[in-house]
A = this chain, B = another copy of it.
Amino acid sequence: MRRTKEDAARTREEVLAAAAEIFYENGVSGSSLEKIAQRAGVTRGAIYWHFKDKAEVLTALHREIRLPQETIVDYAIAHGHDDPLGLIENATIEVLQILVNDEHQQRVFAIMILGCEFTEHLSDAAQRIVTANAEMFGKLQKLIEMADERSRLAPLWTADAAARAIQCSMNGLLAEWLRSGKSFPLVDVGERLVRSLIHSMRGETSN
């Protein structure tokens, strides 16, 4: 039996890791705490000691990762604001490259996108995704507005539509990639997609 602080923290992590697996395999609602406990090698008692209920396990799991969206915006802010559109382009590609190498993020993200129900009265975790999405959109929009002031956006685009388009494309790209079992090269397709979009927004000639 484990008693020390470190041991406790360890079982907590083991529970979370087990939860990620079980959620990924069966979906959130299809996973019982009993199954998670078994996978983690503990009883439900342990889980209930560390977490209030299943929802709290999910949010804890969710809190561990950074949403790609947040990462993109952070990257953009960290690297200054000259050429905002180029910044978005590079940030997006870089984030995709990082994500391809992080299996745990992929799994948690898959749980959120594919294995978790976005209902009307949203769960805590689902709510956070929605909020992060909205914030991401706002910041994207501002970046693009800055670009618009420097060098005019192509007439096809408004800052609003452009931000929306980038957000939708990237989220869709990720969702499809995960749903299809990573059946296509994420970075490759993503890179072409972003380059194409940003290029179009710049109003330059193609390619």
Query: Could you tell me which A residues sit within 8 Å of B by CB distance?
Result: 24-30, 114-121, 130, 133-134, 154-157, 160-162, 164-165, 167-173, 175-177, 179-180, 184, 188-189, 192-193, 195-197, 199-207
Closest chain B CB from A34 CB (angstroms): 17
Ranked nearest first, the 8 interchain pairs of A and B with the lowest CB-CB distance are A172-B172, A27-B117, A29-B29, A114-B118, A196-B200, A27-B119, A168-B173, A168-B172
Q: Are A200 and B203 in contact (CB under 8 A)?
A: no
Closest chain B CB from A10 CB (angstroms): 27
- Chain B residues positioned under 8 Å from A165 (CB to CB): 169, 173, 189, 192-193, 196
Closest chain B CB from A101 CB (angstroms): 20
Copies of this chain: 2
Interface pairs (16), CB distance under 8 Å: A24-B120, A29-B29, A30-B119, A118-B179, A154-B206, A156-B206, A157-B192, A161-B189, A164-B184, A168-B175, A169-B172, A171-B176, A197-B197, A200-B200, A205-B205, A206-B206
- Chain B residues positioned under 8 Å from A201 (CB to CB): 196
Q: Are B25 and A120 in contact (CB under 8 A)?
A: yes
Given A164-B189, A192-B161: A156 in contact with B207 (beta carbons within 8 A):
yes
Residue of B nearest to A114 (CB): B118
Residue of B nearest to A184 (CB): B164
- Looking at the complex, which one of B26, B171, B200 makes contact with A175 (CB distance below 8 Å)? B171
